[in-house]
Amino acid sequence: MRISTLGTGMVGHALATKLVSLGNEVMMGSRQAGNEKAVAWAAGAGPNASEGSFADAARFGEVVVNATAGASSLDVLAAVGAENLAGKVLIDVANPLDFSQGRPPTLTVCNTDSLGEQIQRAYPEARVVKTLNTMSCQIMVNPGLVPGRHTVFVCGNDADAKAQVAELLQSFGWPADSILDLGDITAARGTEMYLPLWLRLWGATGTGQLNIEVVRGA
Amino acid sequence: MRISTLGTGMVGHALATKLVSLGNEVMMGSRQAGNEKAVAWAAGAGPNASEGSFADAARFGEVVVNATAGASSLDVLAAVGAENLAGKVLIDVANPLDFSQGRPPTLTVCNTDSLGEQIQRAYPEARVVKTLNTMSCQIMVNPGLVPGRHTVFVCGNDADAKAQVAELLQSFGWPADSILDLGDITAARGTEMYLPLWLRLWGATGTGQLNIEVVRGA
């Protein structure tokens, strides 16, 4: 499959590398074609890896992954352009974290709205699926780093898009019964607002190699 | 131990009943002494159960449990009075949920502050410990309803108070190694902001008998 990953940070790098390793053709998008990090990644990742501008990458991909910093995701998608997102599955793994006042970060949007919803509203023809934003990028692409069962959430308005994303998650190593569909894109409020707890869990346990398992009673 | 539980709703009822069953003397506090629900509870719960006003109850307790609706907790504690909270462990299990705009509820405070912090700031001589607010009251007092391992969080500024609360949680049936200390009271932002996800988990699984287990890697 042709997939574009937007963003050259740790998350974009981890996802692009995993996707290439699974046999996908991946274009890493950045603000300007020729971005040093993206060029270095593409050079090292083999013949199925390439790089370009955000718009180049989105045009290339059948599926587009938003792996940019959440605080700038809407700007990045504006640079992509609605015409390059229409009809496509847009996987949003970003969190709207605001580090401008220091740490711990706050959220730029929460409670009555979410980044996932903002993106879906701005690009109504994209099929937005929010997923993987509740863990570090190492765990996203290698769930086996955390032992035993643990959960990855998906939400979005388009059932077929969620099914495609579930397949992609399984290719990453997520067991089908660890993928929990939370419903429509408004559930992004829940997974994004989990971030402050996640940051505390990291602090309390001393490791970012953690995740949560949803355990059910009768 | 003498414990006061503030609030006559499901959460207060469940906690008061559990605490009495464990041999504690419990006074259930409500807006006015003689509250119908509190009288009925005290009549049914045996000789160690009593009821009174919020101030009566807080005066009675060596430990005070805030089990009121989060949106009114600050009003309730104002009725209690700072003099009845000074030096005491104040266990805050409330969530600042706002149902005034319908469901799903939003939070009355989040992101840069939390109910737990508001309470600690308003009553600096109380030793506030936030805990148990991440699950239904059935699970709070009977963790075995959810099979296997799962986690309960505590946070607060006073280490001795957290140790006392951990003992109380263990008396409820929480294994010591399932009690995760998240640090100071600012971590209440994390556990309160988890609520929107928890409500979605309830919706997706069809049961409120659920909790999360924090699973760690290497």
Q: Nearest CA of chain A to the CA of B111: how many Å?
A: 6
- Residues from A in contact with B at Cβ < 8 Å: 104, 106-107, 110-112, 139, 145-150, 155, 180-183, 186-187, 189-191, 193-194, 196-201, 203-205, 207, 209-218
C-beta separation of A135 from A178 below 8 A: no
pLDDT, residue A103, reads 87
Mean pLDDT (chain A) is: 97
Mean pLDDT (chain B) is: 97
How many angstroms separate the Cα of B180 from the Cα of each of A205, B135, B156?
9, 14, 12
**Is pTM, for the whole model, over 0.90?**
yes
pLDDT, residue B78, reads 97
Q: How far apart, in whole angstroms, are the C-alpha atoms of residue B207 and residue B101?
A: 24
Tell me which residue in B148, B193, B216 faces A207 most closely, judged by beta carbons: B216
A213 contact residues in B (CB cutoff 8 A): 212-213, 215
What residue of B is the nearest CA neighbor of A189?
Answer: B196
B107 contact residues in A (CB cutoff 8 A): 111
Per-residue pLDDT tens over the stretch A191-212: 999 999 999 999 999 999 999 9
**Cβ of A213 and B212 within 8 Å?**
yes
pLDDT, residue B37, reads 97
Task: Identify the residue with better confidence: B174 or A100.
Answer: B174
Q: Nearest CA of chain A to the CA of B199: how many Å?
A: 8
Query: Is domain A2-205 given the CATH code 3.40.50.720 in the classification?
Result: yes
What residue of B is the nearest CA neighbor of A196?
Answer: B190
What residue of A is the nearest CA neighbor of B192?
Answer: A197
Helix (H, G, I), strand (E, B) or coil at A128: strand
B198 contact residues in A (CB cutoff 8 A): 190
What residue of A is the nearest CA neighbor of B134?
Answer: A197
Closest CA to B192 of B108, B120, B101: B108
Per-residue pLDDT tens over the stretch B164-210: 999 999 999 999 999 999 999 999 999 999 999 999 999 999 999 99
- Output the DSSP codes for B136-175: -HHHHH-GGGS-S---EEEEES-HHHHHHHHHHHHHHT--
Tell me which residue in A191, A204, A207 faces B180 most closely, judged by beta carbons: A204
Q: State CA B215 to chain mean position distance.
A: 24
**Cβ of A217 and B191 within 8 Å?**
no
Amino acid at B109: V
Per-residue pLDDT tens over the stretch A20-69: 999 999 999 999 999 999 999 999 999 999 999 999 999 999 999 999 99
Q: Which residues pair with B30 in a beta bridge?
A: B53
Tell me the two tokens of residue A144: 């086996």
Q: Nearest CA of chain B to the CA of A115: how many Å?
A: 15
- Residues from B in contact with A at Cβ < 8 Å: 104, 106-107, 110-112, 139, 145-150, 155, 180-183, 186-187, 189-191, 193-194, 196-201, 203-205, 207, 209-218
C-beta separation of A114 from A187 below 8 A: no
Pairing of strands B97-98, B89-92: unpaired
Q: State CA B2 to chain mean position distance.
A: 16
C-beta separation of B14 from B140 below 8 A: yes
